[in-house]
Amino acid sequence: MVQERTLPAFQTASVQLTREDGLRIYEDMTLGRLFEDKCAEMYYRGKMFGFVHLYNGQEAVSTGVIKSLRSDDYVCSTYRDHVHALSCGVPAREVMAELFGKATGCSKGRGGSMHLFSQEHRLLGGYAFVAEGIPVATGAAFQSKYRRDALGDETADQVTACFFGDGAANNGQFFECLNMAALWKLPILYVVENNKWAIGMAHERATSVPEIYKKAHAFGMAGVEVDGMDVLAVRAVAQEAIARARAGEGPTLIEALTYRFRGHSLADPDELRSKTEKDFWFARDPIKKLGDYLTQHHLATPEELKEVSDRIKTLVEEAVHFAQTSPEPDPSELYRYIFAEDE
């Protein structure tokens, strides 16, 4: 069974967390969850079209890593990219408008669900092909390293976070890029969101070494496994890896054991996964786990957490209204953005 792999032990009670940081990461995770729930509603009501892959259940990974980065660091995503974009600071209205294919979307209505991009927020894109973003992220990390070491730019200490799923870890680009990153000590975090399933293929049936983090060792790279349903555990691992990368000590492969609460996409009836397996992971909801931690450690009250949720619901509703009332891309600009433009 998938759930037989023991989640890494991590004592969240020992984590030093301020009230401000606790509420900040709780708000980010709640935004991710409620935004995705609204996407599902809009899709099933026939308001949203195309491929839509939701992130429900994996919020601790996005928040734990991205909210540990600086605003000038880089993030590279996958086709399950909505919540990564939100964690990067891309406004919810721009993400929603992009999903509606509107001109006000972060990719001007040309990317849709799987191809979110924001130069302003250092989001290097969502990528539809499995493992497609890994070389892009590796290149971003290389330019930071090159600018600092070869060009003498002391401000070029940016770190890149590259997200991908367990299925991508069997792809050749994964191994090629890990080799280069370790060889050149690139400032990058390779974050495997191991949600146990590559579409309908169970992870343990697809790889000879199910523990993906161990694959880092072949390249002399730091590799670590973390409970991807515990945002505080992810945050602690990410902060350590980011500090190492920024200090010039090279890359880290982080395997976050997580689970998607919905099917592979909104067109997936999700009949391959057993109820027993789903219930095992549903009981480990990362948002509920963080909420319990905040209240038990007197960092927030239940009323304050409800206020966060209510505020986010309003924000998401406003994002939908913005998307629905935004204009369609102008047909006269069909060929725009194919080539680089002058500033």
Share of the chain above pLDDT 90, in %: 92
pLDDT at 2: 44
Distance CA 284, CA 219 (A): 33
pLDDT at 134: 98
pLDDT at 342: 78
CB atoms under 10 Å from CB of 169, counted, come to: 27
Question: What is the chain's length?
Answer: 343
To the nearest whole number, what is the mean pLDDT of the chain?
A: 95
C-beta of residue 302 within 8 angstroms of C-beta of residue 295: yes
C-beta of residue 114 within 8 angstroms of C-beta of residue 127: yes
pLDDT at 4: 53
Distance CA 86, CA 163 (A): 14
What average pLDDT values come out for the chain (343 residues) when binned by 10 residues?
Answer: 52 70 98 98 94 97 98 98 98 98 97 97 97 98 98 97 97 98 98 96 94 97 98 98 98 98 96 95 98 98 98 98 97 90 76
Please spell the DSSP secondary structure of 126-173, one letter per residue.
Answer: --SSTTTHHHHHHHHHHHHHHHHHTS--TT----EEEEEEGGGGGSHH
Residue 292 vs residues 65, 125, 232: alpha-carbon distances, Å: 21, 33, 12
Distance CA 226, CA 258 (A): 9
Summarize pLDDT for 274-292 with one digit per residue, the tens: 999 999 999 999 999 999 9
pLDDT at 15: 64
Q: What are phi and psi of 83, to 5 degrees?
A: -75, -35
Query: Domains plus CATH for the chain?
Result: 18-321 (3.40.50.970)
pLDDT at 1: 41
Summarize pLDDT for 191-224 with one digit per residue, the tens: 999 999 999 999 999 999 999 999 999 999 999 9
- Nearest Cα to Cα of residue 187 among 257, 139, 123: 139
Q: Which helix (H) or strand (E) holds 182?
A: helix 172-184
pTM of the model: 0.95
pLDDT at 16: 81
